[in-house]
Amino acid sequence: MRWLLDHQSAFSEAMKRTRDRMTQFIVVICLLGVLLAIPGWLGQIWLGMASLVPSDAVQSEALVFLERDLDLESRIDLERSLEDQAVIDAITFIPKSEALDALSASDGLSQMTVLRDDNPLPDALRVRFSFVGDEAGEAAVIDGLRSDQRVMSLRYYPSARVQYASLVEMLGLLGLGLSMLTILGVLMAVFLVSAADVVDDRRRIELYTLLGASNGFIKRPYLYRATLLGLLSGLVACVVIFGLNTVLSSVLASNLEALDPELGSIPMDGRILITVAVVAIVASWIGAERAVHRRLHALH
């Protein structure tokens, strides 16, 4: 009961101080909310880009032209080594006679069929990568094939997902950098606000210290106030991110439907909202705790 009464008293004191400084409290909430919404929105774009890729464009392919004098055993060995790769979904052998017939039919070069006995085209392997393959895995397979003595040349056709990989990586690094700056900004903002509160309450803190109150007892009201500040700031940031996502979805509605008829908006990733809220609360709590700790350390 003593523990509950102490925390109830600290919470009541935090609410009283919030009411006494309501304008300042609202301004800081809006400032931190907008500040947190910037990296949150970048993260939402980053995680939502995968859903903007059409389903028929998420599989990479490679056309591997084999050496003309390659024997059957070497070709089979090459196919088996490729089948062992986790990023490869299917391998199809295309004999040079079939390639010549397809070229003659598609380009209208029927006279090329006379070259059947002296076919200049090489045999080839059509390699289809899996849907879940990553850019690094596909690049490793392509590099291995280019250095293979059994391969004359190859053509690599990366999927839209792989083509976007560099852009997604750049967005991820930008979002990570802005996230670090945002967390630092939230810490500094809450630290300054809490430091100002501590300066205003210095006489009360000195009195509590003289009466023998513990540091935890003195810190509780400020930590409760900072937690409420972080919670409301995170809520404001989530509302801003959701609003920006809705506005952008409406602007891109026709393009989204062209990619996928069932895609009417950019899907909202709940992990972004949870992360923003948690970061807001933790950063606010740390900023307040450091500010009060410095003041108490100076008194002692």
Give the separation between CA 50 and CA 168, rounded to whole angstroms. Answer: 9
Which residue carries 């069929």 as its tokens? Answer: 113
- Count how many residues are written for the chain: 300
pLDDT at residue number 254: 58
pLDDT at residue number 66: 87
pLDDT in tens, the chain (300 residues): 777 777 777 778 778 877 877 887 888 888 888 888 877 877 777 676 655 555 455 578 888 888 888 888 888 888 888 888 888 888 888 887 776 566 566 555 555 555 555 566 788 888 888 876 667 788 888 888 888 888 888 888 777 666 555 566 666 666 667 777 777 777 777 777 777 777 777 777 777 777 777 777 778 888 888 888 888 888 998 888 888 877 776 766 555 555 555 555 667 777 888 888 888 888 888 878 887 777 777 766
Any residues with CB less than 8 A from the CB of 205 and at least 6 apart, and which?
198, 218, 295, 296, 299
| The model's pTM | 0.57
pLDDT at residue number 170: 67
| Domains of the chain, CATH where assigned | 2-53+165-299 (no CATH), 57-161 (3.30.70.3040)
pLDDT at residue number 105: 62
Give the separation between CA 159 and CA 112, rounded to whole angstroms. Answer: 32
